[in-house]
A and B are shown apart, each in its own frame.
Chain A
Amino acid sequence: ILNVEQSPQSLHVQEGDSTNFTCSFPSSNFYALHWYRWETAKSPEALFVMTLNGDEKKKGRISATLNTKEGYSYLYIKGSQPEDSATYLCAFMGGTGGFKTIFGAGTRLFVKA
């Protein structure tokens, strides 16, 4: 069974705080790791697609790292703003016999002004 876990489940921070969360995924049969930002009542929005061990990607104040050998990815938000409040989902693509995408349950971020 392919399992993708995200921690913490939820996070409350103050505006200006920097924060990070973790996505753990199978370390074998890896193809890609996706991060999405999902605001309530909207569709998930792609943040990063990461494919290579050691990948680091950055978009504005948000960055992510990837370790495929040990099966984890970190998402960092520098100087959180209230508009960063959302659920951050990671999705593992890989496995044997196909290219299914397995999503984690997400980390719900609340940024208080």
Chain B
Amino acid sequence: GAGVSQTPSNKVTEKGKYVELRCDPISGHTALYWYRQSLGQGPEFLIYFQGTGAADDSGLPNDRFFAVRPEGSVSTLKIQRTERGDSAVYLCASSFGKNTEAFFGQGTRLTVV
């Protein structure tokens, strides 16, 4: 596609449920990033993929969070046993490499009730 696509754009889920957030990067971009943005703050790094592998997952807050990118393109961020504190906008970005400009998706607004 022309840009980074994230689905769904909005997700409301009950506490304790499992959610998956999808990111479809720009074709040919090998680097893919996930961020979480809370109100009034800058994006918080979660995980960085180079190709299929997670080059840095140190930003994942705990083991309820997991992300995959099995074919080096689409990535899925998975959150188990969601908590109200997980409510945020989850942003995905992709780029050709670490020191090239990254393009962001519109984000998925997750609300845990």
Residues in A lying within 8 Å of B, measured CB to CB: 31-32, 34, 42-46, 48-49, 51, 89, 91, 93, 97-106
Contact = CB atoms under 8 A, between A and B. Distances in A.
Q: Chain B, interface size: which category?
A: 20 to 34
Interface of B: 4, 33, 35, 40-45, 48, 55-56, 58-59, 91, 93, 98-107
Contacts of A97: 56, 58
**Lowest 9 A-B CB distances belong to which pairs?**
A98-B56, A46-B101, A103-B42, A43-B104, A32-B99, A105-B42, A103-B43, A100-B45, A44-B104
A44 B35 CA distance: 12
B101 A99 contact: no
Contacts of B107: 43
Given A43-B105, A43-B106, A43-B107, A101 B100 contact: no
Contacts of A102: 45
